[in-house]
A and B are shown apart, each in its own frame.
Chain A
Amino acid sequence: MTTECTWAVGVTTVLERIDTVFPRTMHSLCDGGFCVNRLFIDGVKEAQGYEQWGVEVTCRYPNIATHGNWLLGLYELSIRYPHVTHYAMFQDDLICCKNLREYLEQSNKPDLGYFNLYTFPTNQQRAKGKKGWFESNQRGLGAVGLVFSSKAVEVLLTHPHMFNRPKCLRKGKRSTDGGRKRVDGGIVETFTNNGWKEICHNPSLIQHTGVKSSMGNTRHPLASSFPGEDFDAMSLLGGAK
């Protein structure tokens, strides 16, 4: 069932990308139909250089890293826009299909689910060639563009897992960050603990453009099914609701 959507849209970013992937992301989101409400800039005291975008900002100094900036960004959106039906959080290195927002508004939305707009190759095969939304492998791959209902935000931000995550010291190459880097896995773990599902789309509705992660993580693989920025997402309607 489709519902009338109102939006709060945030973009997390770092200064290093102000002249590289960030501008393209902003332009692409605009073509996608998104009016970005707020930038969450990590690692700066001042927002000079961002005025041209006409967007409100939050600056954090020194940097709090990916997970913190993302979580605090979402919390701030929920405080500033408590009455919207949906929240979209984007990272600063993506491109998206044209009219993506309108397509999302026309899509059936799961009661107990959230949208991951970026479809990893490992999730792609689960679509079995069908266009439209499908359940991911529930591993939370990528937080390049995530869409939540207001209820989903409430669940996410109040779940004990989100509280415990900053204390998590992982072994391996992320062992130094104490849960500071990866956003995606923490989100899906929180939701699956509540019986919620991560939902992906075939074709992928966004593509990752970052060559180098701002946190030193390995680069995301490209979404093999992304049809390009010029693709009109509304053309999917009919077979993808």
Chain B
Amino acid sequence: MRIAYGVVTVVDRVQTLLPKTLDSLGAAGFDKPRLFVDCDTFDDHLKYEGFDLDIVFHYPRLRTMGNWITALWELYIRNPRADRYLLFEDDIIAYRNLKEYLEKTPYPQRGYCNLYTFPENQKLAKGNIGWVESNQKGYGALGLMFDHAALQIVLGSKLLILKPIHPTAGHKRHDGAICVTMQSAGFKEYIHNPSLLQHSGRTVSTLGKNKHPLASSFRGADYDALELLGEKK
């Protein structure tokens, strides 16, 4: 099982949320993410010298939706034979050994995985452990995972490529647009109980949106995701 993964980020967070996210992802097994950085100046690359990671800089900013979709394309072009493609945002906390858990967990057919479970979706799990269909509203893109079939739909989406034309929402709400794209192809969004990620952004999002609510079912950064394998049985 090969998972190609990366983190989309903005330069403002290089000393705040990003290091914490990378530490948590390292403990989760994602120790060498490719960074996709939205920058403000030619010299912003200097702020990333200590990270020792493969990296892409966009100067000036491409903004959230653009950085996300081009990052996903790049993960694919660089790893066309990976089994899964997983893109994180820069303000998350993950369980220990999350990568190994994902590798051992069946992927929902004709679907894509949202690793962050909004409170509104939580009740849909009905107490069961594992992947469940979300309310199909596409809440959040803190960590989205695709198999090849799902990836092809997202990357070939006319809705997403035409989205920047929209006068007000062109660079925002790609989470909802992804969900709509997938639905139109007969694919479903799946969320997980318990939530596999927690949002760590304490301020407003990089787009000035309201902060995500916390995932009520998240079990904490010290929790070992592999324990979920036993609970499922």
CB of B40 to closest CB in A, whole Å: 12
CB closest chain-B residue, reference A75:
B70
* B204 close to chain A: CB less than 8 A: no
Interface size on B, residues (CB 8 A): 34
User: How many pairs of A and B residues are in contact by the CB < 8 Å rule?
Assistant: 96
Taking CB atoms, residues of chain B closer than 8 Å to A167 are 80-81
Q: What is the distance, in angstroms, from A140's C-beta to the closest C-beta of chain B? A: 19
State whether A45 and B62 are in contact (beta carbons under 8 Å apart), knowing that A61-B56, A62-B54 are contacts in the complex: no
A47 contacts B59, CB within 8 Å?
yes
Cross-chain contact B66 with A163 (CB below 8 angstroms): no
Q: Which of B95-103, B156-164, B215-223 contacts A (4 or more CB under 8 A)?
A: B156-164
Grouping DSSP codes into helix (H, G, I), strand (E, B) and loop, the B interface class, with mixed when no group exceeds half, is: helix
Contact B156 A79 (CB under 8 A): no
- Knowing A79-B62, A79-B69, A83-B165, the reply to whether A68 touches B77 (Cβ < 8 A) is yes
Count residues on chain A whose CB falls below 8 Å from chain B CBs: 37
Instruction: Tell me the complex Cα distance, A67–B65, Å.
Output: 22
- Of B42, B46, B48, B156, the contact of A158 (CB 8 Å cutoff): B156
Q: List chain B residues, Cβ under 8 A from A179.
A: 80
**In this assembly, does B76 line the interface, its C-beta being within 8 Å of a C-beta of chain A?**
yes
Q: Does B133 contact A (CB under 8 A)?
A: no
* A158-B156, A166-B76 known; A76-B66 Cβ under 8 A: yes
- Let me know if A79 and B66 touch, CB within 8 A: yes
User: B152's closest neighbor in chain A, by CB?
Assistant: A163
Of A50-58, A123-131, A141-149, the one contacting chain B is A50-58
Q: Does B202 contact A (CB under 8 A)?
A: no
Chain B residues near A64 (CB, 8 Å)?
A: 74, 77-78
**Cβ of B76 and Cβ of A46 under 8 Å apart?**
no
CB contact list, B46-103 vs A, under 8 A: 46, 48, 54-60, 62, 65-66, 69-70, 73-74, 76-78, 80-81
A235 CB to nearest chain B CB (Å): 37
Q: Which residues of A contact B69 (CB under 8 A)?
A: 75, 79
Instruction: Jot down 5 A-B pairs with beta carbons below 8 A, ordered by A.
Output: A68-B77, A78-B164, A82-B165, A158-B161, A166-B80
